[in-house]
């Protein structure tokens, strides 16, 4: 794939993980499924169906909350120096402080951008306040984005960005 989804990192319930596994296996997209309870402790393993062709693209992990490590590994593997983390208004970003501190020490340029329920307004507001050269730089940075959103919010967001 020249463009599109490089990998999918999720932390959902077992039913959603199973559905996403079917989708990512069919589309040959690597999928890291982080299993955890709301309080951050590992949950019992979800049963994921074996792929019909024997090639599973889903890796299920049951760590304590390690989103910081996952994000740092992701941006390191992709060699991102500048990127945006979009998060929904109900996402608790206080948990990202360790990640932001580590990213800063590594010299990474990370922007946090809150997205409210009216996703199209976020882009309208941004694009109305930026000059052309800023828009071009921002558009380039949008190619390197991490979404910390619900599956529905991420779907709407991706359609708006297109």
Q: What's the confidence (pLDDT) of residue 37?
A: 58
- 161 & 102 share domain: yes
Question: Phi, psi at residue 53, to the nearest 5°?
Answer: -90, 0
> In the listed set 42, 64, 86, which residue is the last one of a domain according to the structure?
64
From CA 104, how far away is CA 131, in angstroms rounded?
A: 27
Q: Quick one: 9 and 47 in the same domain?
A: yes
Are both 21 and 77 inside the same structural domain? no
CA distances from 162 to 100, 105, 149, 158 (A): 27, 33, 17, 6
- On whether both 81 and 127 belong to a single domain, the answer is yes
User: How many domains in the chain?
Assistant: 2
- Domain carrying residue 22: 1-64
pLDDT, tens digit (0-9, with 9 covering 90-100), for 98-152:
889 999 999 999 988 888 777 666 666 666 776 777 777 777 777 888 888 877 7
Residues 1 and 31 in one domain: yes
CB atoms within 10 A of CB 58: 22
**pLDDT value for 162:** 66
Q: How confident is the model at residue 1 (pLDDT cuts 50, 70, 90)?
A: very low
pTM over 0.85: no
Which CATH number characterizes residue 136's domain?
3.40.50.2300
The helices-and-strands tally (H runs, E runs) of the chain is 6, 6
* 70 and 58 in a common domain: no
14-18, 81-85, 120-124, 153-157: least confidently modelled range: 120-124
Per-residue pLDDT reduced to its tens digit, 30-84: 888 877 655 544 455 677 777 777 777 787 776 545 678 888 888 998 899 999 8
């Amino acid at each position: 794939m020249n463009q599109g989804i490089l990998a999918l990192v999720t932390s959902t319930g077992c039913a959603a993980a199973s559905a996403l596994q079917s989708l990512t296996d069919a589309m040959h997209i690597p999928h890291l499924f982080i299993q955890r309870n709301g309080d951050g402790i590992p949950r019992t393993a979800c049963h994921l169906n074996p792929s019909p062709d024997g090639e599973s693209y889903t890796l299920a992990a049951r760590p304590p909350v390690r989103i910081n490590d996952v994000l740092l590994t992701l941006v390191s593997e992709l060699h991102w120096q500048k990127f945006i983390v979009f998060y929904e208004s109900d996402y608790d970003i206080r948990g990202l402080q360790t990640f932001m501190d580590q990213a800063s020490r590594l010299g990474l340029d990370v922007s946090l951008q809150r997205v409210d329920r009216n996703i199209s307004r976020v882009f309208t507001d941004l694009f109305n306040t930026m000059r052309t050269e800023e828009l071009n730089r921002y558009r380039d940075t949008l190619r390197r984005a991490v979404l910390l959103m619900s599956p529905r919010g991420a779907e709407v967001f991706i359609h708006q960005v297109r």
